[in-house]
Structure formats: C-alpha cells, structure tokens
Amino acid sequence: MKKRISFETAVLVLLLGLMLTSSPVQAAIGNADVLDDILTRYQTAASAWATIITERASWLFWMLVTISMVWTFGLMALRRADIGEFFAEFLRFTVFTGFFWWLLMNGPAFATSIIASLKQIGSEASGLRDVLSPSGIVDIGFHIFYRALDESTLRLQLTA
C-alpha cells in the first residue's frame, strides 16, 4: 500500500530544506545607514505634507483672525470708542496678526533649522568632527557595547 504525501507536508519539507541550506550572508541585515535612510524617507514624505498642512493652517488662521476682528471691533463699537482708539486697536491688531502669520508661514523652516542646529550642538559637545546622524548614534552605541563586552570578565566565564 502506497502512502501519498500531502501537499502541506511537501511544502513544509521544502521550506525546511531551504531554511537549512541558506547561507548566513543571505540572512544578514545591512546596517549601513539604516536609520539615516528612514530619516530621509520621512523628510521626503513630510515635505509633501508641509504645503498641505500650511494651506489648511492658513485657512484656519484667517478664519480665527476674522472672528477676533469682528469681536474686538464689535465690542469697541458697542462701548462707543472714539476714532483714536479704533486706529490704535487696528494698529495693534495688524502687528499682532502679521507677526503670527509670519510665524505660521516660516514654521517648517524654523523646525528644520532647530533640528539641524541641535545636531550640530550635539556633535560639537561630544567632540566629533562630523554632525551626528541617527545611524551614527546607534553605531557609537554598538561600538561602546562591543567594547564593554570585550573588556568584561562575564564573557570569559560564559565561554569557558
């Protein structure tokens, strides 16, 4: 009596055979600048978001400015403020609104500059010549870990 091998068993044996014959090089993960690549991809995607977010934020900003202006000047009209008060309030309102409009329009550039300056400060404080990158920080961490592992006596006890 012949026994038939099921399809699932054949696939399982084939996969097991492929896993046992794979070389370590094929399974190795390339660690060169992995985090830098992630950061670059995120920055590319975020640059596309910046225009959309800025447009929506601008619309919201101007709606809130309109509400604030109607409220402020409406209250001034109700209390019968003189023309000098209206001009003073209008000047204050214009300067205040202009400043925050400028902040809104330049916000993405400010964020990029702050991140770049903090990277530079971190590399200067650590005494490194190059500006640190996410992969560079992880590489330094692994270097310290491997160095500590080489110097530890626990490793010698485990291998003995």
* Within a domain: 145: yes
Q: Do residue 108 and residue 157 come from a single domain?
A: no
Q: Do residue 144 and residue 124 come from a single domain?
A: no
Q: Do residue 58 and residue 112 come from a single domain?
A: yes
Q: Do residue 153 and residue 136 come from a single domain?
A: yes
Helices (H), 6-153: 7-21, 24-27, 34-78, 83-126, 134-151
What's the domain range around 58?
A: 51-128
Q: Do residue 136 and residue 98 come from a single domain?
A: no
The pTM for the full model equals 0.58
Task: Report how many domains make up the chain.
Answer: 2
Report the chain's C-alpha Rg in angstroms: 31
Q: Do residue 89 and residue 58 come from a single domain?
A: yes
* Within a domain: 159: yes
Buried b (16+ CB within 10 A) or exposed e, 33-43: beeeeeeeeee
Token pair recorded at residue 148: 């500590």
**Residue 153 carries which side chain, given as an amino acid letter?**
T
* Within a domain: 153: yes
Q: Do residue 87 and residue 116 come from a single domain?
A: yes
Report the alpha-carbon distance of residue 142 to residue 132 in Å, rounded.
Answer: 15
Q: What is the pLDDT along the chain (160 residues), one digit of tens a residue?
A: 556 678 888 788 787 777 766 565 555 555 567 777 888 888 888 888 888 899 999 999 999 999 999 999 999 999 999 999 999 999 999 999 999 999 999 988 898 899 888 888 888 887 777 777 777 777 778 888 888 877 776 655 555 5
* Within a domain: 20: no
Geometric angle at alpha carbon 93, from 91 and 95, rounded to 5°: 70
Q: Do residue 58 and residue 119 come from a single domain?
A: yes
